[in-house]
Amino acid sequence: MTLLQAKRNRPVRILEIPDDRARAQCVRFGIGEGTVVDSAEALASGPVLVRHRNQEICLGRGLACRILVEEDPSDTRGRSGDGDATAEAARGRFRGWRRRGHSR
Amino acid sequence: MSGGSNSHSCHGSQVVQAPPGARKIVLAGNPNVGKSLFFNAFTGLYVDVSNFPGTTVTISSGVMGDDVVIDTPGVYGVSSFNEEEMVARDIIAEADIVVNVVDAVHLERDLFLTQQLIDMALPLVVALNMVDEAEARGVSVDAVALAERLGVPVVPTIAVERKGFDRVRATLDEAVPGISDPVLQDRLLSLLDRVGTKAEALLVLEGDPYVAERHGVEPLGMRDEIYMDRRRRVNDIVARVVSQRDRSLDLRTRLGHALLRPLTGIPVLLVVLWLMYEVIGVLVAQTIVGFTEGVVMQGYVEPALRAAAAAVVGTGVIFELIAGEFGVVTLTITYVLGLLLPLVVGFYLMLSVLEDSGYLPRIAALTDRLMTAIGLNGRAIIPIILGFGCITMATITTRILGNERERKIATALMAFAIPCSAQLGVIVALLAAAGGLGITIAYATIMFLVFGLIGLALSRYLPGSSTDLLIDLPPLRLPRPMNVLTKTYHKTVMFLREVVLYFAAGALLLATLQLTGALEAAQVALAPLTETWLNLPRETATAFIMGFVRRDFGAAGLYDLGLGGAATLVSLVTITLFVPCIASVLVIMKERGRAFTVFTWVGSVVLAFLVGGIVARVLVLAGVV
């Protein structure tokens, strides 16, 4: 799938950034091909917001739909595919709680 | 944008010359990490400091002891992706010592440039800045371990509190090339006989076409390989020296996200605009200007000046030139100090708060989709917003845009449709007096439509395509009052310095035209345009003649005419779209070339009267007049 299609606020692994300059610029920002970013969110105002560590990057829609990504294999949320929003939200809350409880 | 000794660099050529024996100390770093604060502290000269990437687009240099200090535009890496990078590239490559300022919160990003500078074999000192903010966000950096890993001195600093500057200065003599990759260094050595320095050899190896051409060699396309390897080295260092307690989203980050989402972001933007209207349009334009212009100038200063002039020169032609209706002294003082000064101060205060808060890049993301429709991307909103401060400066800031096509569109949009602070101040004052919020919204809607149409037309007919948005968002910060005041002060002084001369010359021109009867003749000659086409009194011709000098001067000329609501709207739309001021024309000529300047200048006169006339017709048809 493309970065534009990535599920909201889930970690994704960047597979391919076809544009030369964008690829170089992303590597400078800390995101290369193979990097698992913390989350991606397609904003209704156009760009896709990518969070990686303390870094927040906005990529234009045209660019985001050329970047290939996959779900992060280590991310266990949302893999059941049942689409139950309540369960989804509960899992999200649980993860948030767990994160805060455990310092890395 | 900068004071003191300031040299503008054209097309990446090197312009900063150091006297013999002096070392070139170059400040380098990512955008928005505080380089300019170091420059201010080292040289005592002032350059602008803001919380968004791209504040420094010109090169400033100053003296520290026996050495020369040079500030560079912020870059994420050294190469030739855009004009900022090309300017920074050549200055960094020729540095004797590089002071690399890094943001402790974003080391993963910033150390990429650091490692590149080390790979270029430049003597380096790293200023680890914003350690306080990092601490507050739960990030701690082991500076000693970082220095060990990089092989260069690392000095923790808090630039906004002026902490650590002395230690950085004291460490300059210890600057050394750091620990690079041995395989990479071997490759650079093999290039040295053809390309003078390791710094330039690295750029050739990374495929920089400009540096390669300079040395008559082919650029080598190894960028991907070198970048990925450097990224691995940086990640390895970060993993060892940075520890983070908590990665959950803090309130500030969540607030930042809310500003990006249209559902919450657009209402916030509207509230911000409304607040600006209340402060500038109501508080400053009516209450304060009412006092400074109405009471102080008209009531005391002008009569006193007239009496003084009459006592010295009597009541002849000379008196009229000095203190008559368009007297050089009276008109200049009343307009500049009574009318424009409070408005400009108010505007720059608001703009400075916006700049320092980190809100501007978020507006860029919020407007990205709209801007894409007119051949730009969201980043172009930054020069456009700065254009509301000063078109001349904002035209230089278009250098941050991705390609020449985008720079042309943005420059034309500003030259045509964006009123600068002084003009906007007078416009808001007139709108508020003529009918308040309703007519203000009508004016804003018309200008927004014209802006969009110009953008659509340019985007359609200019060849090429535009680049995609790719920006990093700085953290939201509470603006520091001292920085806001300093910046407002410097911008206001610059404005006054520039404007007084133009206003005096404009007043002299008008007074001469009036005394020779040419002004009345021009009003009669232009009557078909003003009276018939625009439905305005023929005296408004004076304002348009003033508009050729500066648009704010023209708008100020409308101030005393006492126009009604409809006439105010028509005349303001016309004067807003009128020719850019002489200073902007000179900068547009330098940045975009002669043909483009002629196009915007002639185009703006035609467009101003065309749109003004259409608005006048629509008002008649709608039964308003």
Average the pLDDT over B424-434 and give the result.
Answer: 85
- Give the one of A43, A55, A59 whose C-beta lies nearest to B108's C-beta: A55
- Confidence at residue A38, expressed as pLDDT on a 0 to 100 scale: 92
Q: What's the CATH code of the domain at B109? A: 3.40.50.300
Least confident span in B6-15, B66-75, B216-225:
B6-15
- Chain B residues 56-115 with a CB less than 8 Å from chain A: 76-77, 79, 81, 105-106, 108-109, 112-113
Average the pLDDT over B300-312 and give the result.
Answer: 91
Residues in chain B: 625
Helix (H, G, I), strand (E, B) or coil at B303: helix
Direct distance between the N- and C-terminal alpha carbons of chain A, in angstroms, rounded to an integer = 30
Residue B273 and residue B201 share a domain:
no
Residue B296 and residue B410 share a domain:
yes
The DSSP result for B253-278, as a single string, is HHHHHHHHSHHHHHHHHHHHHHHHII
**Is B252 contained in some domain?**
no
pLDDT exceeds cutoff 50 at A89: no
Closest-CA distance of chain B to residue A101, Å: 9
Among A9, A26, A28, A97, the strongest candidate for a mutation testing the B interface, having the largest count of B CBs within 10 A, is A28
Query: Chain A contacts of B361, Cβ < 8 Å?
Result: 58
Residue B551 and residue B404 share a domain:
yes
**Is B296 contained in some domain?**
yes
Whether the pTM exceeds 0.95: the reply is no
In this prediction, what percent of chain B has a pLDDT beyond 70? Answer: 95
The DSSP result for B171-194, as a single string, is HGGG-B-----HHHHHHHHHHTTT
Strand partners, B158: B163
Please judge whether B368 and A61 are an interchain contact, meaning their C-beta atoms are less than 8 angstroms apart. yes
Residue where one domain finishes, among candidates B184, B213, B244:
B244
- Confidence at residue A92, expressed as pLDDT on a 0 to 100 scale: 46
Please judge whether B469 and A104 are an interchain contact, meaning their C-beta atoms are less than 8 angstroms apart. no
Closest-CA distance of chain B to residue A45, Å: 5
| CA angle centred on B392, ends B389 and B394, rounded to 5° | 60
In total, how many domains does chain B have?
A: 2
Mean residue pLDDT across chain A: 78
pLDDT one-digit tens code per residue, B471-500: 999 989 999 999 899 989 988 988 888 788
B53 pLDDT tier (thresholds 50, 70, 90): low
Residue B57 and residue B177 share a domain:
yes
Q: Number of A to B CB contacts under 8 A, please give it.
A: 130
Residue B268 and residue B211 share a domain:
no
- Does B137 contact chain A (CB < 8 Å)? yes
Mean residue pLDDT across chain B: 89
Residues in chain A: 104
pLDDT one-digit tens code per residue, B336-394: 888 888 888 988 898 889 888 999 999 999 999 999 999 999 999 988 988 888 888 88
- Confidence at residue B54, expressed as pLDDT on a 0 to 100 scale: 58
d(CA A23, CA A14): 11
Please judge whether A61 and B369 are an interchain contact, meaning their C-beta atoms are less than 8 angstroms apart. yes
What distances in angstroms separate CA B278 from CA B33, B69, B272, B274, B281, one per listed residue? 33, 42, 10, 6, 5
Which amino acid is it at B169? R
- Chain B residues 336-395 with a CB less than 8 Å from chain A: 361, 364-370, 372, 377-378
**Is B251 contained in some domain?**
no
- Confidence at residue A102, expressed as pLDDT on a 0 to 100 scale: 40
Q: Which CATH class is domain A3-73?
A: mainly beta
Please judge whether B364 and A58 are an interchain contact, meaning their C-beta atoms are less than 8 angstroms apart. yes
pLDDT exceeds cutoff 90 at B158: yes
pLDDT one-digit tens code per residue, B88-142: 899 999 999 999 999 999 999 999 999 999 999 999 999 999 999 999 888 999 9
A32: Cβ contacts below 8 Å, ≥ 6 apart: A14, A23, A26, B227, B228, B231
Residue B312 and residue B188 share a domain:
no
Instruction: Check residues B400 and A92 and name the one with the higher pLDDT.
Output: B400
Please judge whether B472 and A21 are an interchain contact, meaning their C-beta atoms are less than 8 angstroms apart. no
- Give the one of A24, A26, A99 whose C-beta lies nearest to B223's C-beta: A24
pLDDT one-digit tens code per residue, B211-238: 999 999 998 889 999 999 999 999 999 9
Closest-CA distance of chain B to residue A53, Å: 8
- Confidence at residue B4, expressed as pLDDT on a 0 to 100 scale: 36
- Confidence at residue B247, expressed as pLDDT on a 0 to 100 scale: 64
Query: Which residue of B lies nearest to A45 if distances are taken between CA atoms?
Result: B366
**Is B253 contained in some domain?**
no
pLDDT exceeds cutoff 80 at B52: no
d(CA B123, CA B152): 8
pLDDT exceeds cutoff 60 at B325: yes
A96 pLDDT tier (thresholds 50, 70, 90): very low
Average the pLDDT over B162-170 and give the result.
Answer: 96
Q: Is this complex scored with an ipTM above 0.90? A: no
Average the pLDDT over B202-217 and give the result.
Answer: 93
Average the pLDDT over B421-444 and give the result.
Answer: 85
Average the pLDDT over B154-169 and give the result.
Answer: 96
B432 pLDDT tier (thresholds 50, 70, 90): confident
Instruction: Check residues B47 and B198 and name the one with the higher pLDDT.
Output: B198
Q: Give the residue carrying structure tokens 């260069």.
A: B152
Strand order in the sheet with A68-71: A36-37, A12-16, A68-71
- Confidence at residue A76, expressed as pLDDT on a 0 to 100 scale: 61
pLDDT exceeds cutoff 50 at B202: yes
pLDDT exceeds cutoff 90 at B548: no
- Residue A81: count other Cβ atoms within 10 Å of its Cβ: 6
d(CA B404, CA B396): 13
- Does B51 contact chain A (CB < 8 Å)? no
Composition of chain A by helix, strand, coil, percent to 5: 35, 25, 40
Answer yes or no: are the C-beta atoms of B533 and B541 closer than 8 Å: no
Q: Which domain holds residue B339?
A: 262-621
Query: Which residue of B lies nearest to A42 if distances are taken between CA atoms?
Result: B261
pLDDT one-digit tens code per residue, A53-76: 888 999 999 999 999 999 987 766
Q: Where are the domains of chain A?
A: 3-73, 76-104
